[in-house]
Chain A
Amino acid sequence: MTKPFHELRERLLQAGIAPRHVRRYLAELADHLADLTAEEERAGRRRTDAESIAQARLGGVNDLAKAMIQQRNLQSWSARAPWATFCLVPLIFLAGAWFVSLLILSSGWHIFLPGADTPFGGHQIYGFANLYFQLGKAIYFVRRF
């Protein structure tokens, strides 16, 4: 990646533009720059002149960054709604993981340990049943981190 594009990339990411939009923007700019350089060369300019004119036609880093940053709908969710990304979503995931682990425990109890007073301790569990309970346990403990 050339230096101006590297700088542009950093500025866009810092401004919260979604990485997939940044990647595509830079790829399209690189293609456009190649087309402009080829056009200037066809007009009879030397390679170095053609490259600098092409760069000027493409636009400066400030203009290119500003144009992208102004499009609010291209920002990532963490930039658009940090409260949702860093507060609401983790809480939803936490509640979801807790619910799923309880569901696994409850269903496993009824399916694999019918008649048992509790799903905890004292039971010999093998094969798929063991895997099933271990999955629930894993989700429960991962949730804690």
Chain B
Amino acid sequence: MTARETNPNFMNGVPELLILKLLQKEEMYGYEIVQALRNRTDAVIAVGEGVVYPVLHSLERDKALKSRRKIVNGRSRIYYMITPAGLRRFADLSETWTNLAVAIQQMLTGAQYDKAFS
């Protein structure tokens, strides 16, 4: 279990972005998605694991994802996969977050301030 959870105010839209990114490569079910998020972000991004499902359901309702039931080791799993609409949504979100991250990075390192006064 993680020591602390990521500040939820900064998390708006992030789970959606990361889930879409993960599902670009392969279809996954909820538990796999959460483990992959934990591993690939070195547990920096940590939320209650169950909260991933409302995001998945919402994305599916918006046709960004589709799901199918699959029996694995005798258990029924719901696998999620990305759709073309989901790929477009990922591209938009990715661009927005990249711009935001660059702007914040510039702000933190003072790059713009230095440029303006150099």
Contacts of A21 in B (CB 8 A): 57
* Cβ-defined contact, A74 with B54, below 8 A: yes
Cross-interface CB contact of A73 among B30, B34, B53, B58, cutoff 8 Å: B58
User: Which of B19-27, B43-51, B89-97, B101-109 lies at the interface with chain A?
Assistant: B43-51
Q: Mark B40-79, 1 if CB is under 8 A from A, else 0.
A: 0000000111110111011001100000000000011110
Are B57 and A67 interface neighbours, CB within 8 A?
Answer: no
**Considering the chains assembled together, what is the distance between the CA atoms of A56 and B3 in angstroms?**
12
Q: Which of A28, A29, A56 has the most CB of B within 10 A?
A: A28
Chain B residues within 8 Å of A13, by CB: none
On whether A31 and B54 interact (CB within 8 A), knowing A59-B49, A64-B48, the answer reads: no
Contact A64 B51 (CB under 8 A): yes
The count of chain A contact residues (Cβ–Cβ below 8 Å) is 23
Known: A25-B53, A31-B75, A74-B61. A53 touches B1 (CB 8 A): yes
A105 contacts the other chain (Cβ, under 8 Å)?
A: no
By a CB distance below 8 angstroms, the chain A residues around B49 are 32, 36, 57-59
Chain B residues touching A, majority SS? helix
Q: Chain A contacts of B54 at CB under 8 A?
A: 25, 67-68, 70-71, 74
- Cβ-defined contact, B48 with A60, below 8 A: yes
Q: With the chains together, A36 CA to B35 CA distance in Å?
A: 10
- For residue A10, CB closer than 8 A to chain B, the reply is no
CB distance from A65 to the nearest CB of B (A): 10
Q: How far is the CB of B69 from chain A (nearest CB, A)?
A: 10
| Chain B hits for A7, CB < 8 A | none
Asked if residues B31 and A35 are in contact (CB atoms below 8 Å), the reply is yes
The answer to whether A74 and B48 touch across the interface, beta carbons within 8 angstroms, is no
Question: Which of A's residues lie within 8 Å of B, judged by CB?
Answer: 21, 24-25, 28-29, 31-32, 35-36, 53, 56-60, 63-64, 67-68, 70-71, 73-74
